[in-house]
Amino acid sequence: MAALDLSPGLFVVDGTLGAGGHSASIVEKLGPSGTLLGIDRDPMMLDHATQELQDAQCRTVFARGTYAELESLLSDNKLSKPDRVLLDLGLSSDQLADESRGFSFQAEGPLDLRFDTSSGRPAWQVIDESSESELTEILQLFGEEPAADEIASALVQRRPVATATELTQLVTAVKSKTSRENLHDATLTFQALRIAVNEELRHVERMLNDVLPAVLGPGGRAVVISFHSLEDRIVKNAFRKTDIWQNQTAKPVTATPAESRLNPRARSAKLRVAVRR
């Protein structure tokens, strides 16, 4: 929260509203004259957050969509340039717990993995319609999965793969010899497919390289928390552009051991901050 440098009256965009945890702390600092625009691709998360933030004193506006379309979401809602933009990338624990979306290894529902089920293709369909080499590339690029070749080959032989449970069983069988401690065998495969079906890196790239520089005025501040090395690289390279940004974090801020113990998700989190020139 300190990274956002909040004060009463500011206009803050939470581009990844999730369950509204960060926004609940943000609105406390904005006072009645402040404004929060909360954005999420997932309507279920928007519902959660709207409830969580119903007693906010400041003006709150909620929008379904991608942060990468921030410019049109601002104009649709007649909002001007924000003072602060927060992105907390990736998946929320509520999405992970939703059995009908396939995010968790044991889910019996369809292997969907989309944040917004009204657009794009679900993961089971991507598995069904991709060639073995396309699947290998997804697993290597977005999952950095060492057994990408073997898993892609097994997917092509055994598809259709309808549920998360089926995918978990398939990956566990392939990887039984190469397991890494502290990481479920299927973690990197699920991550890779989720990033692919949601085109997550394309949204991050567009936001960091085009949208944020355009929407933030001088002194406007961007705070980005990422969980994947490819995302972090996009953020790091964007904030290095010294004609656009005053980079506030030469090295990313990472969680302390105590924070990681309390919240295991924080273990791989990297936070970067930059101020628009």
In the complex, which residues of this chain contact ligand SAM (CB under 6 A)? 15-16, 18-22, 39-42, 45, 66-68, 88, 90-92, 115, 203
Torsion angle, alpha carbons of 175, 177, 180, 185, to 10 = 20
| Neighbouring C-beta atoms of residue 52, cutoff 10 Å | 18
In the bound state with ligand SAM, the residue whose beta carbon lies nearer, of 37 and 152, is 37
Question: Is 243 a known ligand-binding residue?
Answer: no
Q: Output the smallest distance, CB 93 to ligand SAM, in A.
A: 8
Q: Output the smallest distance, CB 12 to ligand SAM, in A.
A: 12
Rounded alpha-carbon distances, angstroms, from residue 46 to 18, 40, 74, 113, 187: 7, 6, 17, 17, 26
In the bound state with ligand SAM, the residue whose beta carbon lies nearer, of 113 and 170, is 113
- Give Dmax (Cα) for the chain: 59
Sheet holding 221-226, edge to edge: 59-64, 35-40, 11-14, 84-88, 221-226, 270-276, 245-247
Q: Output the smallest distance, CB 231 to ligand SAM, in A.
A: 11
Q: Output the smallest distance, CB 79 to ligand SAM, in A.
A: 16
Question: Is 40 a known ligand-binding residue?
Answer: yes
CA angle at 241 for the pair 237 and 243, rounded to the nearest 5°:
170
In the bound state with ligand SAM, the residue whose beta carbon lies nearer, of 84 and 203, is 203
Q: Output the smallest distance, CB 115 to ligand SAM, in A.
A: 4
**Residue whose C-alpha is closest to residue 246's, from 272, 205, 214, 274:** 274
Residue nearest to ligand SAM (CB): 18
In the bound state with ligand SAM, the residue whose beta carbon lies nearer, of 22 and 221, is 22
Question: Is 88 a known ligand-binding residue?
Answer: yes
Contact present, 32 and 57 (Cβ < 8 Å)? yes
In the bound state with ligand SAM, the residue whose beta carbon lies nearer, of 41 and 221, is 41
Dihedrals phi, psi of 114, to nearest 5 degrees? -90, 145
In the bound state with ligand SAM, the residue whose beta carbon lies nearer, of 70 and 138, is 70
Amino acid at 93: S
Q: Output the smallest distance, CB 266 to ligand SAM, in A.
A: 11
CA distance 99 to 105: 10
What is the sign of the dihedral through the CA atoms of 24, 187, 140 and 250?
Answer: positive
Q: Output the smallest distance, CB 78 to ligand SAM, in A.
A: 20
CA distance 231 to 253: 15
**Residue whose C-alpha is closest to residue 67's, from 113, 34, 18, 110:** 18
In the bound state with ligand SAM, the residue whose beta carbon lies nearer, of 18 and 34, is 18
Residues placed in the known binding site? 20-22, 40, 67, 88, 95
Residues placed in the known binding site for S-adenosyl-L-methionine? 20-22, 40, 67, 88, 95
